[in-house]
Structure 1
Amino acid sequence: MEKGELGELDALSVFLETLPDKLAKTPYDYTVYIRWMELVRAVGDIDSLRIARQHMRTRLAIPEDMLLEWVADEEAQPNALCDEMVLANIVDIFEKGVAERVSCSIWQAYIDFAKRVDSNKDAHARTAAEAAFGGAEYLFSILQRAAEATGSHYLQSHGVWVQLKDKVVQEVSREGDERRRSELVELLNTMFLERLSQPHSGLDETFAMYSEFTTQHFGTKYEQQMVNANKIVSSTRVKCAYRDSLEASLAKSDDSWDGYLRYIGKVIQDRAAATEEVCMLYERALALHCYLPDAWDEYILYMEGSADNNTQAALDVASRAIRFCPWSGKLWAHAINFTFLQQGHREATDVYTRAASTHAVDYSMLELSLAAAAWVGAMRLTQDCNTGTYAADLDTACNESIDKVYSLDIDTADPYLLLECCCASALIDSLNNVESARRMWMRVCKSRKTCANAWVSFAEFERIHGTASSARSVYRQAAQRRLDAPELVFSAWLRFEHAGGDLSKVYAAERAINLQR
């Protein structure tokens, strides 16, 4: 064994010693998995490379280039296309890949793989393929699914659809039974007409193919068929011209996220696209900007407001989002909210626990606060289903979330105090526990001494649930501190005193404030 290989083995050995601890502490750290894969690839251990990739896939979305590289490595094994286990592994990689993202290139790679497998006429290989794919008609099934999944992609769907069409044409030419042949011709006709009504960049080519198809199969009915088709195409051409202008603008923006936002906003405003077409625009954007939490957030909000089965659709997108951007508290909050709506508070708690216990978002008080606020909100809404332990569970949720968040770096705190306000509202409005809420605000202000928003919220709490004197005391304490936004406290204090109508208190507040200015 050469010196370089020994060095690589030593590096791998050292890395593997600390790997379990790293995975336990930071299972969402991309760099750990990348380094793991680099080291096992360097020593040529394909089995360990597969294990590393599988570990990564349990937590994170695997980037498209890495997914296709994984397929290539599996297919490079000896007799891969005849080995049921290898074929099943590759099918599993593709199936999870297309479930995670809408990608014409991944679907095309899947189709190409299925074609390579299908071209092997060896009986043993065919048996292995049917077992791995789950049926004999696997190529046709994949083509159908690919065409359905990518059909709304204005620029790239044409190539996939043509392959499905060609497969059906091939079946027509092979079919000896006249009745079955007529059914396939009718299927093709329906496919063409549906495609001609759908805006896509290959519309003229599709129309030309339909003309050839009609000439071949409809004889004397050709003219009427083409008249009907031409009506459809005329309408679709108008839509294509509209989309072409938007595609040109998008290209000028270098396919930026802002460019996609303008594109999406325009088609929604003009009511110029069906829901599935808008979703495809989001999917296209995410193919390029999958590590941008705001892009996922926009998509989730759209799905919740527009999809037929909106809650499940939003949950599906949110579940994908946290695999791409596990550092985003906002995306975890979406996953918690929609899990609660679809499955209940226990499952929502499991999602929050996954976020909080795996160090996905605990680098930031703000990010963890967003996830924790969603969890507290879910717990608050469980009163009807768990009356026996509701109060204790909600109180525990509030205290545990505050404890967890306030153990982090105070410089990363949420300036808007979403979690704190959420917990205070839960403690007061749901549990009528004013003292617990007061203790929480005292702790918050003690930890965030310079946060004007925290002091104003505490004073407002005392105004409503305490006394004028206790509220005034909070304002006075706050005014004496070096705050991040002192005028916020000063103006709130003066409004409070003016509302009380006691001029002596107003002037006393003004004197105290002037001393700090």
Structure 2
Amino acid sequence: MMELEQQQQQQHSSNNSSSESESESEEEEDEQDENLHLQSLEKALADNPSDYDSHLNYIKSLRKLGHINKLRQARESMSLLFPLTPTLWQQWTYDETSLLLISDSPNQDQQPRTEAYDAITNLYERALHDYLSVSLWCDYLNFVQQHDPLLLQLSPLGISKIRDLFERAVPAAGFHVTQGNQIWEAYIKFEQTILHSIHHTNTEEKDKQVQRIRSLFHRQLSVPLYGLSSTLLAYKSWEDEQGGIPKSSSNDLDEVPSHISSAYKKAMEMYNERAHYEEQISRNDTPEEKLQHFLTYIKFEQSLGDPARVQILYERAVTELPVSGDLWLGYTRYLDETLKVAKCVLDVYSRATRNCTWIGELWVHYLLSLERASASEEKLSTVFEQSLQCAFSSSEEYLDLFLTRIDGLRRRNFSAGSTALDYSVVRDIFQSATEYLSPYLKNTDGLLRLHAYWARLELNHGKDLVAVRGVWESLLKTSGSMLEAWKQYIAMEIEMGHIDEARRIYKRCYSKRFTGTGSEDICHSWVRFEREFGTLEDYDHAARKVTPRLEELQLFRLQQESKMGVASVAQKEDPVSKQTPQKRKLSARSTDEHPTSKKQKGTAHGQTRSFEKETSQKSTEVKVVGSDQPKPDKPETIKEQQTKPSAPREIYTDQCTVFLSNLSFQAKDDNLRDFFSDVGGVTAIRLLKDKFTGKSRGLAYVDFSDDAHLTAALAKNKQILLGKKVSIARSDPKHNKRKESSGRSTREHDRRGPATGGSESIEGSDSHMKESVTSQTSSSNSNRHGKSVQLRGKNTFAVPRTLVKPLGWSNNEVKKADNVDNLNSNDEFRKLLLKK
């Protein structure tokens, strides 16, 4: 037995050792994989330091492996490039607190406790600068209460310090409607702790502390916060302990001072007004929908005129949507117009440009805000250089930045006669702007505006005429085809009184080609210039130069107009040939060579031309002797093509259907189904849509299962659906059929005479028309070309319908005495008609 037990123990120990070795090997493999992953992340960050996701994954991997020094460095690097989320800051502060202040076995290299405490408080201050976070504020307040050396000793300086921190937290996070009560509760709890630490014999100090706590309760009860009723109960309970308000009050506001009661009621009303908005922004909607909810909420707060509440709502919005440019622009604009507190405004601009680096308008307003705050030149220069490192969507945004920077330097240096900075700084900015923007703004008004501004400053402040002309010449090198550049250059020379120099510029540019009428304009401008400033010889010289140039330009424009006129005439003469593809390409024969036939009475000329066009395009049974025309299709083939059935169409009887009009264009099938849900019996819904755009026409048919449901549906006439009164009427299929039948008969009568012979009569009429088309086409071709043509069928083109097929004839009847085949002119047709 002893031997068996020893064997079992050895086997068990061997099993344990094998399992431990397996777990250790798995851990080693995991660590190796994590190290490989870490190396790949380091390479990715080296290649692209601005990759936000790579920074996040790198920090996560370092934290998992416990590489403390690399982790600190990685967090610092990311915080320089991007604002960190409250979660990232909480992880950072927690790690540093665990390492520096919570250590069971401190070693000699550990920082002194006060230095560690200061380092962590600095981290919290940086964290609170990025985004609003109530939980981060609570962590900061708890950390100070637990680790502040002065506060732990209950020294007056430590107590005063933590109170100042609470007073900062109240406006920053205490007005948060749903979470702000956490700040107030922590504040009151701290003051109650101080109250309990006061010796009972020190009644004066106790009374002061009681009054301080009571004041905090009163302040909290006047703010619209979630859980305000619970705060009231806590206040009454505390007052009961102090011997104030009895705890057994039947009504919540019994024995509460009147001013506290009125403030509480007003706060509850304010909270109820905001509850709907709070519910909307708390949903898990898309960023676009959430942004719209926030903007609606902000507009509501702005209408009430409380800047503190508007600001905290903006802070909540940018915390949840940190890369929304519209939010940051609206926030900064509101602060510029309403708050106007330099420190606060600059802080928001700094965060806005870090979150949305690609919005040039934010950087422009940031520079203007720094100028209003009388920031140092070093700060302005730093922000400007940072803005140039960003990627904007258009060159105009870079131009706006350069101009804003130059505006600030001009106002700073020259407005009040100050020479705080050398003009060379302004010149360097202009030079950088032209070098940077000229390739992208060539021949644009923006580049012209930049150079005109530069030349004016060189003239007024630089006092360097050579530099002024150099500015204009550099512009003409890149944008010499801009008429306005030459004109402004000339205008500046005239303004300075340099007439000869202006004349030399005219001589350089009058022969250039400009867009539109610019070439003529510059010639006329030179002549006017010489009339006003030059001698008679100068005027004559200008006239001799510009006259042949103007004649050349006039001739060129006449040639262009002639070409355009020929093209437009050709397009008007044959508008169908480019739009309608020909079925058969005619060889060496043009349809435009048809002799114009005499216009028949009662037949529109346009209809005759379109009929000829149609018959010339159709395949007809014409046998041309000695012609190289392609062989026409066989009659059987033509008949098969004409009698080929079209695709079946769905037919609606509308026996139990209502017709809806005046529908909203946003109405869908589901909206109509919901609209008739109280009626029931809906079997089908057909929304009418535009066949080209596919959009709703505001009309619909709804089918019902029986007349009872139909009658109930008609009773909903003029009720509101999606903001519009819907008109509901019963669909009348018989009326529609009458209209359809009437329209069809009219069309058939216009096309092939009265349709009174049933199906046979219609078929005969069709065949008669085919013969007429064939005969007319063949006759026309034979008359034009003199070919020997064998005609099939009868020539009935332009014959009155009464002669082609009199009423009552059938296919088998033989036509009587009057032989239509022998009619050769319109006069004979007319006589035959009168005889009838």
TM-score, scaled to structure 1? 0.74
Alpha-carbon shift at residue 227 of structure 1 (Å): 1.6
Maintained 8 Å contact 1:376/1:423 = no
AA at the equivalent of 1:289? L
Q: Does 1:238 align with 2:269?
A: yes
> Matched residues, percent identical?
18
1:261 to 292, 295, 307: 295
2:213 to 168, 188, 191: 188
Q: Does 1:294 align with 2:322?
A: no
1:229 to 260, 274, 295: 260
Maintained 8 Å contact 1:460/1:471 = no
1:355 to 369, 387, 391: 387
In structure 2, the residue matched to 1:319 is 350
1:174 to 197, 222, 225: 197
Q: Does 1:64 align with 2:90?
A: no
AA at the equivalent of 1:147? V
* 1: CA distance, partners of 2:350 / 2:83: 11
Secondary structure of the residue that 2:93 maps to in structure 1? helix
Q: Does 1:284 align with 2:316?
A: yes
Alpha-carbon shift at residue 318 of structure 1 (Å): 0.7
AA at the equivalent of 1:175? I
Q: 1:423 to 1:94 in 2, by over 3 A?
A: farther
1:106 to 136, 156, 161: 136
Q: 1:182 to 1:264 in 2, by over 3 A?
A: same
2:185 to 162, 186, 210: 162
Alpha-carbon shift at residue 17 of structure 1 (Å): 7.9
Q: Going by fraction, where is helix more abundant, 1 or 2?
A: 1
Q: What is the number of residues matched between the two proteins? A: 470
Q: 1:402 to 1:86 in 2, by over 3 A?
A: same
Alpha-carbon shift at residue 326 of structure 1 (Å): 2.9
In structure 1, the residue matched to 2:242 is 217
Query: 1:463-502 counterparts in 2 under 5 A?
Result: 465=492, 477-479=514-516
- Which fold has the larger relative contact order, with Cα–Cα distance below 8 Å and residues 6 or more apart in sequence? 1
Maintained 8 Å contact 1:329/1:369 = no
* 1: CA distance, partners of 2:34 / 2:276: 53
Maintained 8 Å contact 1:87/1:129 = no
* 2: CA distance, partners of 1:243 / 1:368: 41
* 1: CA distance, partners of 2:511 / 2:85: 52
Deviations 1:327-380 (A, max 9, x none): 333332233222233213332112212333xx3337864554443333222222
AA at the equivalent of 1:264? I
* 2: CA distance, partners of 1:60 / 1:5: 29
2:423 to 391, 397, 413: 391
Q: 1:253 to 1:181 in 2, by over 3 A?
A: same
Q: Does 1:421 align with 2:476?
A: no
AA at the equivalent of 2:196? S
Q: 1:159 to 1:17 in 2, by over 3 A?
A: closer
Maintained 8 Å contact 1:370/1:418 = no
Deviations 1:98-123 (A, max 9, x none): 122221122133234446x35xxxxx
In structure 1, the residue matched to 2:126 is 96
Q: Going by fraction, where is strand more abundant, 1 or 2?
A: 2
AA at the equivalent of 1:293? G
* 2: CA distance, partners of 1:297 / 1:414: 30
Maintained 8 Å contact 2:172/2:312 = no
AA at the equivalent of 1:185? V
Maintained 8 Å contact 1:64/1:106 = yes
More deviation, 4-13/202-211: 4-13
Q: 1:5 to 1:305 in 2, by over 3 A?
A: same
Alpha-carbon shift at residue 216 of structure 1 (Å): 3.9
* 1: CA distance, partners of 2:511 / 2:194: 80
In structure 2, the residue matched to 1:375 is 405
AA at the equivalent of 2:514? Q
Q: 1:509 to 1:170 in 2, by over 3 A?
A: farther
More deviation, 360-369/68-77: 360-369
* 1: CA distance, partners of 2:395 / 2:62: 36
* 1: CA distance, partners of 2:222 / 2:132: 22
Deviations 1:276-319 (A, max 9, x none): 1110111011011112233212111111111142x333212111
More deviation, 6-15/330-339: 6-15
Secondary structure of the residue that 1:186 maps to in structure 2? helix
AA at the equivalent of 1:256? K
* 1: CA distance, partners of 2:234 / 2:450: 60
* 2: CA distance, partners of 1:513 / 1:154: 76
Secondary structure of the residue that 1:80 maps to in structure 2? coil
In structure 1, the residue matched to 2:230 is 205
Alpha-carbon shift at residue 6 of structure 1 (Å): 4.9
Alpha-carbon shift at residue 8 of structure 1 (Å): 5.2
Alpha-carbon shift at residue 444 of structure 1 (Å): 6.2
Maintained 8 Å contact 2:364/2:404 = yes
Q: 1:439 to 1:6 in 2, by over 3 A?
A: farther
User: Which one has the largest radius of gyration?
Assistant: 2
* 2: CA distance, partners of 1:213 / 1:362: 58
* 2: CA distance, partners of 1:142 / 1:27: 36
Maintained 8 Å contact 1:297/1:331 = yes
* 2: CA distance, partners of 1:463 / 1:160: 69
